[in-house]
Amino acid sequence: MLRQWWLRGATACSQFSRAHSGCNTSSKPKRSIPEDGLQLSDFIKEGTKKQRMKQIIPSIEDTKEYLNPEDLRGNGRTVCYVTYGCQMNVSDMEIVRSIMTQYGFVESEKREKADVVLLMTCSIRDGAEKKVWNQLKLIRSNSVNKSQIVGVLGCMAERVRHDLLAKRNLVNIVAGYCRCRPRPSLQEHLNFNFPGPDSYRDLPRLVAVAAGGSNAINVQLSLDETYADVQPIRVDAATKTAFISIMRGCDNMCTYCVVPFTRGRERSRPIESIVDEVRRLRDDGYKQITLLGQNVNSYRDLTMSPSTSSEDRVPGFKTVYKPKTGGLTFTSLLEQVSDAAPEVRFRFTSPHPKDFPMQLIELIASRPNLCKQLHLPAQSGDDDTLERMGRGYTRDLYLRLVDDIRKILPNVFLTSDFIAGFCGETEQAHQNTLSLIRQVGYSFCFVFPYSMRGKTRAHHRLADDVPEEVKAQRHLDLTTVFREEALKLNQALVGTEQIVLREGTSRRDATYSYGRIDGGVKTVFPNPEDIVKPGQYAKVLITEANSQTLRAHLIGEANI
Ligand code: 5AD
Ligand code: SF4
């Protein structure tokens, strides 16, 4: 039987505080923690909060006596994992799956019957949250397991935790991203040297709390959690592609974006742990690795000695934070992974344009295994809108960056994100964005209608004044124009030879395979005798193109 405070997951933090203060000989006044844990604002208010964390988090000895390790074990209980949102969420769910599996839970596809259903959620737009609320209702109404435990993880767990916990009939567990104390090794944790609150590592405990009949929450934001030691990250063994999270969080504070509030401050995994993982994947025959992060090219391993170049921003681009210095930057990381696995293709997402110094572009130009496809999210092509978005650059600076990149990488494939109908966006501003898309020529764009999010700077300071039907029309305009340009770019590839990494088999015709060229465009080619296996490179001749897909003839097997 679990002790009372342990059962009351929602008050676990204040209990930790009490437990620790009992053995704290310091004369400092004791600090209380909000019932539902610390948030980003708690970290920002004081620079020395790390010390405070040390004071309030109990040691292993403090907490051990309260624990019954058996209650943490899955013992074959089933878990259904449901993921919404971006690649980072998919990757985070892998971390969760890995932790749950290590504790003896078994994955199940059967949502209605599973003992535990965990939803990894996204808050970036209102529509994403609505989808999850609808699913939560469906899960409960379709469930045939009366004691089923439903957990909400990820962005919504951070942003709307009060609303979630108020829906006791729908949700039992709310678990955010991080934690706020030095990281134990996974092994330490698995040995039940249970060191204190930590949201994903804490899941088995939260499930035990929920099974005891209470709702459980842990949404503490961390300054340092990167889950570097939780393996594997995300792999697709069939296509020999893998995704590795290299950093978490974002410090940019674009005025429309909730990510800095839900994912916390930027923190990077040590370079060594990433290179080790790349080597392991290479040895297992993986051929494509995508490095992931909310702000991936802002990567900086501060555990390493200072890099020679401390300033890595593109000249002219501004940030809301002071220039970051020291450590090893994204350029060093790419160089190391490229050396470690020359036969593996590397991609990365999602970057910010300010973090594309020319050394990085030159490195990409010099290495055949670094794909010549760059995501350069512009968001808008209008100076006033960019200013209100807090993006830190003008249209002109962005275009200069595109020119500089193309001087070094003339055949680069550029992709972008755009927001339609941001606060105060005029018709002229919209036209300016359309003209930017025409001028740059992207091979793909993600276009989103603006969705006002609570907590953001735009929410506090700006009016969501573009009518929904105008947003919808502008969304359509942006999509139409990027497709027109993408079609021209793809048509220019007809007659060229490209290297494709085969991913799968065409659904329409099993004698055709598909994969992606270095620039990321999907390519379909005949492969009737299955000469080119999934995860193998093929040389092809491009014969046809539309705005999204290329068709090709197979020339033969290839290497990069
Ligand atoms: N509304 C619409 N789109 C948004 N994005 C981020 N926040 C919002 C929002 N509030 C888009 C941006 C970002 C992408 C991941 O999502 O284009 O680059
Ligand atoms: Fe959001 Fe801007 Fe950070 Fe991207 S860079 S995650 S848009 S705040």
Tell me the pLDDT tens digit for each residue of 453-484: 988 999 999 999 999 999 999 999 999 999 99
Residue 125 per-residue DSSP state: S
Residue 389 CA: which ligand is closest?
Answer: 2
Q: Which atom of ligand 1 is nearest to the CA of 256?
A: 10
CA of 324 to the centre of ligand 2 (A): 17
Q: 3-class SS at 98?
A: helix
Helix axis angle, 395-408 relative to 427-440, nearest 10°? 10
Residues with CB under 6 A from ligand 1: 124-125, 256-257, 377, 379, 417, 419, 448, 450-451, 453
Domains of the chain: 69-218 (3.40.50.12160), 248-479 (3.80.30.20), 497-558 (2.40.50.140)
CA of 139 to the centre of ligand 2 (A): 31
Phi, psi angle pair for 509, to nearest 5°? -145, 110
CA of 372 to the centre of ligand 2 (A): 23
Report pLDDT for 25.
Answer: 32
Helix or strand holding residue 90 (H, E): helix 87-102
Residue 265 CA: which ligand is closest?
Answer: 2
d(Cα 174, Cα 158) in Å, to the nearest integer? 8
- Of the ranges 93-102, 207-216, 535-544, which one carries the lowest mean pLDDT score? 207-216
Q: Which atom of ligand 1 is nearest to the CA of 418?
A: 17
CA of 253 to the centre of ligand 2 (A): 6
Task: Identify the residue whose C-alpha is closest to ligand 2 atom 5.
Answer: 252
Report pLDDT for 53.
Answer: 32
- Per-chain mean pLDDT for the chain: 81
d(Cα 263, Cα 226) in Å, to the nearest integer? 11
DSSP bridge pairs for 513? 505, 525
**Amino acid at residue number 451:** S
Encode pLDDT of 353-379 as tens digits: 999 999 999 999 999 999 999 999 999
Task: Identify the residue whose C-alpha is closest to ligand 1 atom 13.
Answer: 417
CA of 390 to the centre of ligand 1 (A): 13
**What is the arithmetic mean of pLDDT over 1-9?**
24
Judge whether 313 and 323 are in contact, CB under 8 Å.
yes
Report pLDDT for 306.
Answer: 58
For residue 446, pLDDT beyond 60: yes
Report pLDDT for 308.
Answer: 52
Report pLDDT for 56.
Answer: 28
d(Cα 480, Cα 487) in Å, to the nearest integer? 11
Judge whether 226 and 271 are in contact, CB under 8 Å.
no
**What is the arithmetic mean of pLDDT over 227-249?**
73
Encode pLDDT of 55-78 as tens digits: 222 232 333 334 467 778 899 999
Q: Which atom of ligand 2 is nearest to the CA of 250?
A: 3
Helix or strand holding residue 490 (H, E): helix 468-491
More confident residue, 431 or 160: 431
Pick the closest to residue 101 from 74, 124, 128 (CA basis).
Answer: 74
Report pLDDT for 560.
Answer: 86
d(Cα 222, Cα 220) in Å, to the nearest integer? 6
Could you tell me the end-to-end alpha-carbon distance of the chain, in angstroms, rounded to an integer?
59
DSSP bridge pairs for 554? 540
- Ligand 2: does its nearest atom lie under 6 Å from the Cβ of 260? yes
Q: Which atom of ligand 2 is nearest to the CA of 263?
A: 6
Helix or strand holding residue 448 (H, E): strand 444-449
Torsion on CA atoms 80, 86, 92, 93, rounded to nearest 10: 10
Encode pLDDT of 15-29 as tens digits: 223 223 333 333 333
For residue 131, pLDDT beyond 50: yes
CB atoms < 10 A from the CB of 388, how many?
21
- Ligand 2: does its nearest atom lie under 6 Å from the Cβ of 294? yes
More confident residue, 230 or 196: 230
CA of 123 to the centre of ligand 1 (A): 10
- Distance of alpha carbon 390 from its chain centroid, rounded? 21
CB atoms < 10 A from the CB of 243, how many?
20
- Ligand 2: does its nearest atom lie under 6 Å from the Cβ of 295? yes
* Strand pairing class (537-545; 522-526): unpaired
d(Cα 466, Cα 341) in Å, to the nearest integer? 48
Judge whether 62 and 215 are in contact, CB under 8 Å.
no
Report pLDDT for 45.
Answer: 37
Kindly provide the residue ranges of all beta strands, DSSP E only, lying in 331-412, ordered along the sequence.
345-349, 373-375
Q: Which atom of ligand 1 is nearest to the CA of 379?
A: 17
Copy the structure tokens of residue 526: 């005949």
d(Cα 127, Cα 20) in Å, to the nearest integer? 42
CA of 448 to the centre of ligand 1 (A): 6
d(Cα 146, Cα 112) in Å, to the nearest integer? 10
Pocket test for ligand 1, best of 292, 352, 375, 417 (most atoms within 8 A of CB): 417
Pick the closest to residue 200 from 223, 182, 173 (CA basis).
Answer: 173
CA of 254 to the centre of ligand 2 (A): 6
Q: Which atom of ligand 1 is nearest to the CA of 456?
A: 10
CB atoms < 10 A from the CB of 213, how many?
9
CA of 294 to the centre of ligand 2 (A): 7
Copy the structure tokens of residue 340: 């470690």
For residue 233, pLDDT beyond 70: no
d(Cα 41, Cα 38) in Å, to the nearest integer? 8
Report pLDDT for 199.
Answer: 72
Share of the chain above pLDDT 70, in %: 78
Judge whether 413 and 519 are in contact, CB under 8 Å.
yes
Judge whether 412 and 372 are in contact, CB under 8 Å.
yes
Residue 319 CA: which ligand is closest?
Answer: 2
DSSP bridge pairs for 154? 121
Report pLDDT for 214.
Answer: 60
More confident residue, 216 or 289: 289
- Ligand 2: does its nearest atom lie under 6 Å from the Cβ of 249? no
Task: Identify the residue whose C-alpha is closest to ligand 2 atom 1.
Answer: 257
d(Cα 264, Cα 107) in Å, to the nearest integer? 29
Residue 453 CA: which ligand is closest?
Answer: 1
Report pLDDT for 219.
Answer: 52
pLDDT band at 165 (very low <50, low <70, confident <90, very high): confident
Assign 3-state DSSP to the chain and report helix, strand, coil percentages, each to 5: 35, 20, 45
Judge whether 87 and 349 are in contact, CB under 8 Å.
yes
Encode pLDDT of 398-414 as tens digits: 999 999 999 999 999 99
Count, residues in the chain:
560
Q: Which atom of ligand 1 is nearest to the CA of 377?
A: 18
Task: Identify the residue whose C-alpha is closest to ligand 2 atom 2.
Answer: 254
pLDDT band at 44 (very low <50, low <70, confident <90, very high): very low
Report pLDDT for 393.
Answer: 98
Residue 459 CA: which ligand is closest?
Answer: 1
- Ligand 2: does its nearest atom lie under 6 Å from the Cβ of 9? no
Judge whether 502 and 513 are in contact, CB under 8 Å.
yes
For residue 303, pLDDT beyond 70: yes
SS (H, E, C) 370-396: ECCEEECCCECCCHHHHHHHCCCCCHH
CA of 177 to the centre of ligand 1 (A): 20
**What is the arithmetic mean of pLDDT over 537-552?**
97
Helix axis angle, 358-366 relative to 330-340, nearest 10°? 10
- Ligand 2: does its nearest atom lie under 6 Å from the Cβ of 257? yes
Report pLDDT for 31.
Answer: 38
- Residues of 258-292 as b/e, b for ≥16 C-beta within 10 angstroms? bbbbbbbbbbbbbbebbbebbeebbeeebbbbbbb
Task: Identify the residue whose C-alpha is closest to ligand 1 atom 6.
Answer: 257
Encode pLDDT of 337-356 as tens digits: 999 999 999 999 999 999 99
Q: 3-class SS at 503?
A: strand
Torsion on CA atoms 533, 538, 540, 544, rounded to nearest 10: 50
CA of 252 to the centre of ligand 2 (A): 6
- Ligand 2: does its nearest atom lie under 6 Å from the Cβ of 245? no
Residue 260 CA: which ligand is closest?
Answer: 2
Report pLDDT for 239.
Answer: 83
